[in-house]
Amino acid sequence: MANRSRAREVALQVLYQDDFRSEPDPGEDESFLHARLSNDELVVFARSLVNGVRRNRGEIDAELSQKADNWSLHRMAATDRNVLRLGAFEILYSDTPNRVAINEAIELAKRFGSAQSAQFVNGVLDRDFSISSTVTGQDSTAGQSKEITLMGLFDKFKQGLKKTNRLLNTDIRDLFKSESEGRLIDDEFLDELLERLVKTDMGVQPAMDTTEQIRKDFRARVVKMDDMVAVIKTKLKELMAQESAPIQTVEQGPTVIMVVGVNGSGKTTSIAKLTKMFIDDKKSVVLGAADTFRAAAVQQLTIWAERLGATIVTGETGSDPASVAHRAVAKAVEIGADICIVDTAGRLQTQQSLMNELSKLHRVMAKQIPEAPHEVLLVLDSTTGQNGISQAKHFTEAVNCTGIVLAKLDGTAKGGVVVAIRQGVGLPVKYIGVGEKAEDLALFDADAFVDALFDEITGKDSEE
Ligand SMILES: Nc1nc2c(ncn2[C@@H]2O[C@H](COP(=O)(O)OP(=O)(O)O)[C@@H](O)[C@H]2O)c(=O)[nH]1
Ligand SMILES: [Mg+2]
């Protein structure tokens, strides 16, 4: 990783030189790259960045100058401009994951650009570009589209983790009398640390593993807060690691998504958010209001559908949810919609009736499209903490869930629960809900999550 950052720096230097020559000199570039980079792989990477920026420079510059206007930033120094070009290229044209590209661009701007340039990169690249750009998912199975929209990712994580971050920030700082002096890592310290980590609801075992790592690395030494936090972050990223898991849309016919979870967990709201995400991505959506137990539930989804521009299929209160699900899928096929999302009831009297209900819904969908539902998303309420883990098991017994949407992360100081869920449930966390509005959804990313969790502690990007 650090090596690729180095390759970016060198690519930046080459690009910078472009501004002072009438034409690129490939021979000179080559010797420059080889002299400064330790191996061929890095040279190849740096060269691809340089050539990529050159090839797309017209478009990139047009985009940048328009954004710069929006941001009232009219004169850009040559370094700033090239930092931005490189970042824009990686985000828009390369196969570097968006988050990595954005973070790298910010780092580059901080190190080489002006203060304004760092701000500009942070604001423009993260917010504006990533909203409209699409990223490529991990290797998906053949025949499936890989596109999914990412929304101002890091900001969303910060928004969702504000409360947890605040608690953790205070708690970790409290362990150290002064930031610069550090503290002796002894048993007393480790006990205090463990207690504070457990408070985030990450689960006792992960908290112990993390503390153990600190003991191994630092025991009997005086350590500064930043160094300790760095180790904690690495450990947590490891504990949460998963394949990136955006919803994969199928190429032929509608992608059918069934949404399950207990009452009030945030199903209907999450459906609205997913709908917005798809519609922003120019996909058409049919919603099935198969929570027919409560009139209010149908109403709520109807309002969202109207607001967001989705087609909705409903049934009378108390009518058979399976019939609604059936008609929703049929409608999606009939009008050639890209996506069909089916809401379900969360409250059922017994485990058995829940199972029957959900598997019946499953069957009526599969009758029309054999692979449907393509996704079964379990919505969990983060504010109920570790309770979510037993809910996940419960629902997975009733119906094969494919992933988790973790709603209301913004409403809890116990955001560490994501670690517990990743450890305790064999399902990927696909999206997180960070507020009540339709845009308050983010694709889950463990690294961005941990970075946001400790954001203010380490003093990075703390301006809001
Ligand atoms: N703060 C916050 N509130 C949420 C979020 N998701 C859902 N809610 C709220 O939680 C409540 C229940 O949500 P709803 O979608 O109706 O749950 P359902 O019964 O599972 O369909 C509503 O008041 C929502 O506005 C979220 O990510 N953040
Ligand atoms: Mg609902």
Q: What is the pLDDT of residue 19?
A: 77
CA distances from 179 to 60, 165, 185, 223 (A): 42, 18, 14, 10
Confidence of residue 156 (pLDDT cuts 50, 70, 90): confident
* 178 and 110 together in one domain: no
- Is residue 146, in this structure, part of any structural domain at all? no
Q: Is the pLDDT of residue 328 over 50?
A: yes
Indicate if ligand 1 lies below 6 Å from the C-beta of 162. Answer: no
Residue with CA at minimum distance from ligand 1 atom 26: 408
Indicate if ligand 1 lies below 6 Å from the C-beta of 266. Answer: yes
The residue among 133 and 202 whose pLDDT is bigger is 202
Ligand nearest to the CA of 269: 1
Domain final residue, candidates 117, 132, 147: 132
Q: Tokens representing 289?
A: 């209001």
Please state which of the ranges 102-106, 161-165, 235-239, 455-459 shows the lowest mean pLDDT.
455-459
* 210 and 338 together in one domain: no
* 230 and 270 together in one domain: no
| Residue 435 alpha carbon, nearest atom of ligand 1 | 28
- Is residue 151, in this structure, part of any structural domain at all? no
Indicate if ligand 1 lies below 6 Å from the C-beta of 264. Answer: yes
* 363 and 224 together in one domain: no
Ligand nearest to the CA of 270: 1
Domain final residue, candidates 204, 223, 240: 240
Q: What is the pLDDT of residue 128?
A: 46
* 259 and 399 together in one domain: yes
Q: Is the pLDDT of residue 186 over 80?
A: yes
- Is residue 26, in this structure, part of any structural domain at all? yes
pLDDT tens profile 59-107:
888 877 776 665 545 556 777 788 889 988 887 788 877 667 877 887 8
> What is the domain-level CATH number for residue 40?
1.10.940.10
Domain that holds residue 396: 249-448
The residue among 87 and 146 whose pLDDT is bigger is 87
Q: Is the pLDDT of residue 346 over 60?
A: yes
Confidence of residue 333 (pLDDT cuts 50, 70, 90): very high
User: What is the rounded average pLDDT of the residues 238-249?
Assistant: 87
Indicate if ligand 1 lies below 6 Å from the C-beta of 433. Answer: yes
- Is residue 463, in this structure, part of any structural domain at all? no
pLDDT tens profile 11-55:
999 998 887 777 888 888 999 999 999 899 999 999 999 999 999
CB under 8 Å to 396, separation ≥6 — which residues? Answer: 378, 425, 427
Ligand nearest to the CA of 294: 2
Query: In the predicted model, what is the mean pLDDT of the chain?
Result: 84
- By most ligand atoms within 8 Å of CB, the mutation choice from 260, 269, 418 for ligand 1 is 269
Cα 79 to the chain's mean position, in Å?
30
* 233 and 253 together in one domain: no
Confidence of residue 230 (pLDDT cuts 50, 70, 90): very high
Q: Structural domain tally of the chain?
A: 3
- Is residue 155, in this structure, part of any structural domain at all? no
| Residue 379 alpha carbon, nearest atom of ligand 1 | 20
Cβ pair 160, 415 in contact under 8 A: yes
User: What is the rounded average pLDDT of the residues 221-238?
Assistant: 92
pLDDT tens profile 413-426:
889 999 999 988 88
Indicate if ligand 1 lies below 6 Å from the C-beta of 203. Answer: no
* 412 and 379 together in one domain: yes
The phi, psi pair for 134, rounded to 5°, reads -115, 150
Indicate if ligand 1 lies below 6 Å from the C-beta of 160. Answer: no
* 186 and 266 together in one domain: no
Q: What is the pTM of this model?
A: 0.69
Q: What is the pLDDT of residue 213?
A: 95
* 37 and 90 together in one domain: yes
- Is residue 59, in this structure, part of any structural domain at all? yes
What is the Å distance from ligand 1's center to 76 Cα?
Answer: 44
What is the Å distance from ligand 1's center to 301 Cα?
Answer: 12
- Is residue 461, in this structure, part of any structural domain at all? no
Confidence of residue 460 (pLDDT cuts 50, 70, 90): very low
> What is the domain-level CATH number for residue 236?
1.20.120.140
Indicate if ligand 1 lies below 6 Å from the C-beta of 346. Answer: yes
pLDDT tens profile 364-394:
999 999 999 999 999 999 998 778 888 888 8
Domain final residue, candidates 216, 240, 264: 240
* 114 and 166 together in one domain: no
The residue among 399 and 126 whose pLDDT is bigger is 399
| Residue 441 alpha carbon, nearest atom of ligand 1 | 27
The closest alpha carbon to 89, from 41, 123, 119, 46, belongs to: 46
The closest alpha carbon to 71, from 105, 27, 121, 111, belongs to: 121
* 236 and 256 together in one domain: no
Confidence of residue 196 (pLDDT cuts 50, 70, 90): very high
Ligand nearest to the CA of 412: 1
Indicate if ligand 1 lies below 6 Å from the C-beta of 436. Answer: yes
Residue with CA at minimum distance from ligand 1 atom 22: 266
Q: What is the pLDDT of residue 144?
A: 27
- Is residue 384, in this structure, part of any structural domain at all? yes
β-pairing, 311-313 vs 249-250, is: unpaired
User: What is the rounded average pLDDT of the residues 131-154?
Assistant: 36
Question: Which contiguous run of DSSP H or E holds residue 431?
Answer: strand 429-433
* 353 and 429 together in one domain: yes
Q: What is the pLDDT of residue 351?
A: 74
> What is the domain-level CATH number for residue 337?
3.40.50.300
State the virtual CA torsion across 51, 52, 55, 61 in degrees, nearest 10: -120
Indicate if ligand 1 lies below 6 Å from the C-beta of 435. Answer: yes
Percent of the chain with pLDDT over 90: 45
User: What is the rounded average pLDDT of the residues 288-305?
Assistant: 89
Indicate if ligand 1 lies below 6 Å from the C-beta of 388. Answer: no
User: What is the rounded average pLDDT of the residues 142-151?
Assistant: 29
What is the Å distance from ligand 1's center to 440 Cα?
Answer: 11
The residue among 386 and 334 whose pLDDT is bigger is 334
User: What is the rounded average pLDDT of the residues 301-319?
Assistant: 93
Q: Is the pLDDT of residue 339 over 70?
A: yes
